[in-house]
Amino acid sequence: MKEFEQVLPAQSTSAIRRMLNELRDKGRIELRGQKRGSRWFILQKSFKDSSNDA
């Protein structure tokens, strides 16, 4: 989470978590690992087809 906070300093930790959870729910990213060793991975390379995600 610290890395996200560094690159998104204007966002709160809870806002970053909401964004990550939304992307995970849409099947675009997944969390691999446990605790501090966990990492987020992109599952889809193209985010252009987001017009149906309203």
3-state secondary structure the chain: CHHHHHHCCCCCHHHHHHHHHHHHHCCCEEEECCHHHCEEEECCCCCCCCCCCC
Asked whether the whole model's pTM tops 0.75, one would answer: no
Residue-range domain boundaries for the chain: 2-42
pLDDT tens digits, one per residue of 15-53: 999 999 999 999 999 999 999 899 999 997 665 655 565
Take residue 45 and report the two structure tokens written for it: 């390379």
Using alpha carbons, list the distances in angstroms from residue 3 to 30, 39, 46.
16, 11, 23
Nearest-angstrom CA–CA distance, 21 and 10: 18
- Confidence at 6, pLDDT banded by 50, 70, 90: very high
- pLDDT the model gives residue 44: 72
- pLDDT the model gives residue 46: 60
